[in-house]
Amino acid sequence: MMTGGLFLCREEEIAEGEAKGFGPLGSYRRKIIVLRHQGALRAWLDSCPHYSTGTPMAWKTDAYLNGEGTHLACHSHGALFDMDTGECVIGPCLGQQLTPVSIAVTPAGEIFAEDLREEKAE
């Protein structure tokens, strides 16, 4: 259960077929990509699995999709990722996955990401 969390944006800021990056926030080392695909909001870490260090994927602000808008794209070496599963379907990291980020939308339409620091605090 997410308590608190990191504010990303308002729900209406992410239109259908659109992806935007926020942060880095809290203990996340990279931005958090929020996208809306077929009505569903999903969030992924802006960290391409091609290299273990996790490369930022956009070549300019919020350029997270391929030209056709069908996949998330890493513009370093052209990897394409399924927008719903985060799996690399074309490219050098074939079969590897983006890291999902848990998000929640409040009744007021605010999108929050899970705060990893809260989770680790015991």
Q: Where in 99-118 is the site for ligand FES (CB under 6 A)?
A: none
Strand order in the sheet with 19-22: 19-22, 32-37, 40-45
Residue 82 near residue 94 (C-beta atoms within 8 A): no
CA–CA gap between residue 57 and residue 79 (Å, rounded): 9
Query: Which residue among 23, 82, 92, 97 contacts ligand FES (CB under 6 A)?
Result: 92
**Is residue 23 packed enough to be buried (19+ CB in 10 Å), middle (13-18) or exposed (0-12)?**
middle
Query: Which residue among 16, 29, 51, 84 contacts ligand FES (CB under 6 A)?
Result: 51
Nearer to ligand FES, 88 or 111 (CB): 88
Query: Which residue among 55, 65, 72, 111 contacts ligand FES (CB under 6 A)?
Result: 55
The partner residues of 44 in beta bridges, in order of sequence, read 33, 100
48 forms part of the interface with ligand FES (CB under 6 A): yes
Residue 55 corresponds to which tokens in the numbers above?
């490369």
56 forms part of the interface with ligand FES (CB under 6 A): no
Minimum CB separation of residue 94 from ligand FES in Å reads 10
Q: What is the dihedral of CA 102, 106, 111, 115, to 10 degrees?
A: -50
58 forms part of the interface with ligand FES (CB under 6 A): no
94 forms part of the interface with ligand FES (CB under 6 A): no
Residues in contact with ligand FES by the rule CB under 6 A: 48, 50-51, 55, 74, 76-77, 79, 91-92
